[in-house]
A and B are shown apart, each in its own frame.
Chain A
């Protein structure tokens, strides 16, 4: 049903390209860099290092892994969303790799925005077993994992 709507939206509305949507996604991309003060390259290496740390304790779905920097009122939250496949201590070592690969394949991929960069990814669905955190209420940016 939703796709039918999208179809009409794009086909009937003169190609349907509303330029404001482009503005919005480009803004969201550039604001991640502005807000974190990290350029694209730094963000990519920040994510890689985070993944490494988290993987010491959990088997995670790297496709769904995402970092965002959100402001609401006076508080800013660094939001790290990392879908967890399983706790590392729950499975025998040799099965870890296989399990990670299997789960990663089946999972819905995160939506990628303009410029195709990994720094601009957002997770469109949050799995119930995600390692995630919100709700910091301080003025200083907080890290929530």
Chain B
């Protein structure tokens, strides 16, 4: 992960990460909320932005749905001041949400609007995470517009990886570097050889890995309560997201040994055959 090689004036500005995947339902919103909360716990002033216009969800995952007054579209249209639209988290003094609107107007905002909004907030935060909608249409283009880097979320499944590969291509065409998050992996299935391993996914996609999150029921429990899973330090997913946040802060947190691949490959490697 590269820090933005901006000029002096950009030095004290926040890093904008777009959290994206191509395929829907792989865990973008979960990752945005969890990593955002983890960064805030580390003392970083963090803004999470819901870029899924018309289908907002980040607010409920963070338990902030009843505090929303203004939203991203209002900020873009100068209906309110940038600070008025931001909702402060109940649990952390460092975590803030800029909600999406629930209008279904397709062209409610443009790429220029997003660039403008990012620049309005950039100076005020250490990290800005943009929860991107699924797909590679306008919503995706908007969410990428003001981003410096990408967190690419995928699951170890064939369709999610294929879509992720497509998105990596689109991001690199925009000079946005991606770091890989493998979500919802099931190590029992990996051991049986019925799920692609961390190594497999990394080999195929060819981008740097920043974290691995196991399939964990606690994520659904956390969503039910509107409390990011990172507060549950006994869960598997919570600490996994916290490690991603630490790596984003430049800490050297080694990757776990994921038991690599299937049984036969491990045996083969041990006896020097595979």
Contact = CB atoms under 8 A, between A and B. Distances in A.
A21 B200 CA distance: 9
Interface in B152-204: 157-158, 161-162, 165-166, 168-169, 172-173, 175, 177, 190, 192-197, 200, 204
Contacts of B271: 5
B192 to A, nearest CB: 8
A34 interface: yes
A73 B193 contact: no
A45 B263 CA distance: 41
Contact of A31 (B162, B172, B192): B162
A74 to B, nearest CB: 6
B149 to A, nearest CB: 12
A100 interface: no
A20 B262 contact: yes
Contacts of B177: 73-74
Q: Of A5, A28, A76, which is in contact with the most chain B CB atoms at under 10 Å from its CB?
A: A5
Nearest to B200: A24
Interface residues of B, number: 32
Given A1-B273, A27-B161, A34-B162, A71 B264 contact: no
Contact of B193 (A2, A20, A72, A139): A20
A9 B264 contact: yes
A26 interface: yes
Contacts of B194: 18-20
A24 B261 CA distance: 13
Contact of B172 (A13, A70, A74): A74
A72 B206 contact: yes
A34 B194 CA distance: 24
A24 B172 CA distance: 23
Contact of B200 (A20, A71, A76): A20
Interface size class of A (residues with CB under 8 A): 20 to 34
B162 A139 contact: no
A133 to B, nearest CB: 18
A73 B175 CA distance: 11
A27 B264 contact: no
A23 B190 CA distance: 12
Contacts of B262: 18, 20
Interface in B79-127: none
A103 to B, nearest CB: 31
A126 interface: no
B273 A27 contact: no
Nearest to A12: B264
Interface string A39-73: 00000000000000000000000000000001111
Interface of B: 157-158, 161-162, 165-166, 168-169, 172-173, 175, 177, 190, 192-197, 200, 204-208, 262-264, 268, 271, 273-274
18 contacts: A2-B273, A5-B271, A5-B273, A9-B264, A9-B268, A13-B263, A18-B193, A20-B193, A20-B194, A24-B200, A27-B158, A27-B161, A27-B204, A71-B207, A73-B207, A76-B172, A139-B172, A139-B175
Q: Which 6 A-B pairs have the closest CB atoms?
A: A18-B193, A71-B206, A5-B273, A9-B264, A23-B158, A19-B194
Given A13-B264, A20-B195, A27-B158, 11 more contacts: A5-B273, A9-B264, A13-B193, A18-B192, A20-B196, A20-B200, A34-B165, A34-B166, A34-B169, A71-B205, A71-B207
